[in-house]
Amino acid sequence: NPINGLPLTDKASVDSRPVAIMINNIKVATPQAGIGSADLLYELEVESDITRLMAVFADPVDVPEIGSIRSLRHDFIDLAGAFDAIVVHFGGSYAAYDQVMLQGTDHIDSTNAEAAYWRDAEWRKSRGYEHSVKTTGEKLISAINKLHLDNKNSNDNRAWFYFQPNLDVVPAAGTAATKITFPYSNYNVATFTYDANTQTYIKGQFNQDQIDINTGEPLRFTNLLLLQATVTQFNGDILKEYDLSSGYGYYISGGQAEKISWKKGSTLNPWTFTKADGTELVLNRGKIYVGINRIEKTINIK
């Protein structure tokens, strides 16, 4: 798998183009469906102190029933662009639509592929109309074909990160990290608790484990990339603007944490992660969480 380094069940899917799906993360819209199956999960604070998720799948065929799908913010276009992923969303901010039009971003939206989505009747009743949209990999593949989008990846089937040569987990080269608090806002504080038995981190929010309703299991990640960036207001309004050129953060894996530097840049530039000695960071093979918050926030690692 070119995104998380795990073995593929179907080797032919190595050349598939990723999809990046916008996911609602307001409390009334939890638990979500399908996000535990993502190869990589992004999280950013958006307006009104809430966060939004983007679930990235290396191959759309692996996307289960997933939701709730929500509207796009422009910074997520750049995050999806790190893998040249097709952006999947239901609506968007004016800044997001402006960037989609300006850059010619390949995307699947209610405006160009309404048949890719449906509203879950039970969710519509219990959670509300705007929190009820779902899709599946089958529907996304149909939309990709109908929209004549390129379905082959742009990295010549190479991995997007440097990975350890085998599945053994190599702890990050730093201090102990078994309980991490990553505050996005007063409303949403992400927590990560290390499970030594599985060598994964269980994600929590709203004072409980974050669950994938499809499986009933909490979200688990082998690799945490907790990054900090300068965040300002976009055009002076409520939308946020993330400086994704470069910054610092932590790589956390195997019960330990180390400080790293990162670079991103423009939309189609991939991520670059560097250790303190200037060498490229080598990730463990496994699911990846990338959280980005403001440099003013304090990351608590114990």
- Counting every residue, how long is the chain? 302
Nearest one of 14, 12, 152, 147 to 88, comparing CA atoms: 147
pLDDT tens column, 277-301? 999 999 999 999 999 999 999 999 9
Return mean pLDDT, the chain: 97
pLDDT at residue 114 greater than cutoff 90:
yes
Mean pLDDT of 119-126: 98
**How far is CA 302 from its chain centroid?**
24
Say which range, 35-39, 54-58, 157-161, 292-296, has the weakest mean pLDDT.
157-161
Measured between alpha carbons, how far is 169 from 154 in angstroms, rounded to an integer?
A: 28
Residue type, 207: N
Give residue 235's pLDDT band: very low, low, confident or very high (50, 70, 90). Answer: confident
pLDDT digits (tens, 9 = 90+) for 136-145: 999 999 999 9
Phi, psi angle pair for 36, to nearest 5°: -70, -15
Identify any residues that bridge with 137 across adjacent strands, giving them in sequence order: none
pLDDT of 14 higher than 90: no
Q: Report how many helices (DSSP H) and strands (DSSP E) the chain contains, helices first.
A: 4, 26
- CB-based contacts of 207, cutoff 8 Å, min separation 6: none
Single-letter amino acid, residue 112: N
Distance CA 48, CA 218 (A): 26
